Structure 1
């Protein structure tokens, strides 16, 4: 009897751990329309580009709006990242994530977010700022 209750408790607990696919809007607690600045950091080169033009911010949001974040089964710690994106409203940082990790949870994306961000980053003006030494 104890084993059945324990098994039931584990099943209930695991079912509460949502592995449902999510969209960016489900992670961001604010309103994406209120983002006034975005910073994209290239983890490979150590450079970052800042976007404050509202047209470019809208284009970035449009590229990401239909991307589905699917939680990975393997949640072991990893090092490094390809791209990190930080949102600001005014001068206040409101959200930061990498293309495969949000709030300490690892995801794969569908479609793959890397080529979408990589293409966008490379098309931005060459005003890069080095952040790694």
Structure 2
């Protein structure tokens, strides 16, 4: 009878371990949804007064210090929708990344296919807008 009691306890412990491991994986990352670019911004995007764009191919940096120019550009891109990529495996390289600032505080960095450590379907529309601002005089 002791053997059956011991086996019962072992089976219960194994079941509890399996249940605990399964729940941890599902709750590690929240489910990603389609979002507009402005939904990623922590605060009011109207407060952005500087934009920095770094080229991944040349390393060149474009700094937009004109708040009106920055706000005009943000008005064009803020409502662009980003769709989560089902493949969330890490990647290397980038065409451009954009940093948004309020004063000296960097508030958000994004790429045409990545924001806040999550990957999104590459947005050619967003990439074109970034490239246009980067190449502007």
TM-score range, shorter chain: 0.7 to 0.9
**Greater relative contact order (Cα < 8 A, sep 6+):** 1
Question: Is the 1:67–1:109 contact (alpha carbons within 8 Å) kept by the matching residues of 2?
Answer: no
Q: Secondary structure at the match of 1:118?
A: helix
Q: Compute the displacement of 1:82 (Å).
A: 0.8
Distance 2:94 2:71 in 1: 24
Question: Is the 1:68–1:109 contact (alpha carbons within 8 Å) kept by the matching residues of 2?
Answer: no
Higher strand content, 1 or 2: 1
- Flag the structure with larger Rg: 2
Counterpart in the other structure of 2:93: 80
Counterpart in the other structure of 1:128: none
Distance 1:56 1:94 in 2: 18
Distance 1:56 1:71 in 2: 29
Cα-Cα RMSD: 2.1
Determine if the alignment matches structure 1 residue 44 to structure 2 residue 57: yes
What are structure 1's unaligned runs of at least 5 residues? 126-133
Counterpart in the other structure of 2:41: 28
Question: Is the 1:40–1:86 contact (alpha carbons within 8 Å) kept by the matching residues of 2?
Answer: yes
Distance 2:124 2:98 in 1: 17
What are structure 2's unaligned runs of at least 5 residues? 1-14
Q: What's the TM-score once normalised by structure 2's chain length?
A: 0.73
Question: Is the 2:88–2:118 contact (alpha carbons within 8 Å) kept by the matching residues of 1?
Answer: yes
Question: Is the 1:71–1:108 contact (alpha carbons within 8 Å) kept by the matching residues of 2?
Answer: yes
Runs of 4+ in structure 1 deviating by more than 3 angstroms, as ranges, are none
Number of equivalences: 115
Distance 2:101 2:36 in 1: 19
Question: Is the 1:23–1:69 contact (alpha carbons within 8 Å) kept by the matching residues of 2?
Answer: yes
